[in-house]
Amino acid sequence: MSTPQIALVTGANKGIGFETARQLGKQGIHVIVAARDPAKAEAATLALKSDAISAEALTLDVSSAKSIELALKVITDKHGVLDILVNNAGVLLDDAAKKPSEQPLEAWRKTFDTNVFGLIAVTNALLPLLKKSKAGRIVNVSSILGSNALHQTVDSGIYDYKIPAYNVSKSAVNAWTVHLAHELKDTAIKVNAIHPGHVQTDMGGASAPMAVADGAKTSVKFATLPADGPTGGYYHLDQPLPW
């Protein structure tokens, strides 16, 4: 009997993260459900287990170096390898009523601490375990709002949607994806940034056009890419997005 792949999904206690974990689990992958709140991580894990999914809870605050260190030790001691990392955790702290130049600097700092620095810190910490995988996959959950090209295109759907701290943090995630993919281009690891879509979550709102189940599809697709799959890209489903 073959050993199942191990996947870690950050921010997996609800929304797209939880659904990503569920869909990966339904493919026979063992899922590590990571969340800042241990009770929420445990509750999500129990829900997955009730759906016949192999899962475990992990307390992980991506903005805390100590939390990352402790999480790394748990994964290393228990599994010794990681096959899939889905960097899903993220925050949106902009005040939509304010202009870009009016957003408080503290909102910028907190946004980047989670969406950029936390993502990079988690990835760097787990990279040695991913290198032990036969086919490591890193999925950085970005957003179409990180596309500088579309923000400058007058007739694009996001032209007037200027929430700068969040948007620029996702542009930074896209840029980081390119750099890490280049570093790992001669390995079996693939790194991609993805846009899940405008999804019915706490962040996306109840009126969003996509269901959560559909919003997780791109993360799952790129978490399970075949050996000839792309790396260093920015996608929604099968569609490459403009940078």
* Per-position DSSP letters for 110-164, written without gaps between them: HHHIIIIIIHHHHHHHHHHHHTTSSS-EEEEE--GGG-HHHHT-TTSTTTT---H
Residue 87 has phi, psi (to 5 degrees) of -85, 85
Q: The tokens 């405008």 sit on which residue?
A: 198
Q: Does 166 participate in catalysis according to the annotation?
A: yes
* Amino acid (one-letter) located at 186: D
Q: Which residues pair with 114 in a beta bridge?
A: none
Q: Does 132 participate in catalysis according to the annotation?
A: no
Q: What is the DSSP letter of 199?
A: B
Q: Which residues pair with 9 in a beta bridge?
A: 33, 86
Q: The tokens 């992990």 sit on which residue?
A: 58
Pick the catalytic residue from 14, 134, 166, 235.
166
Q: Cα–Cα–Cα angle for 27, 177, 34, nearest 5°? A: 45
Pick the catalytic residue from 49, 170, 221, 234.
170
Distance in angstroms (rounded) separating the CA atoms of residues 41 and 141: 19
Annotated active-site positions, please?
Answer: 166, 170
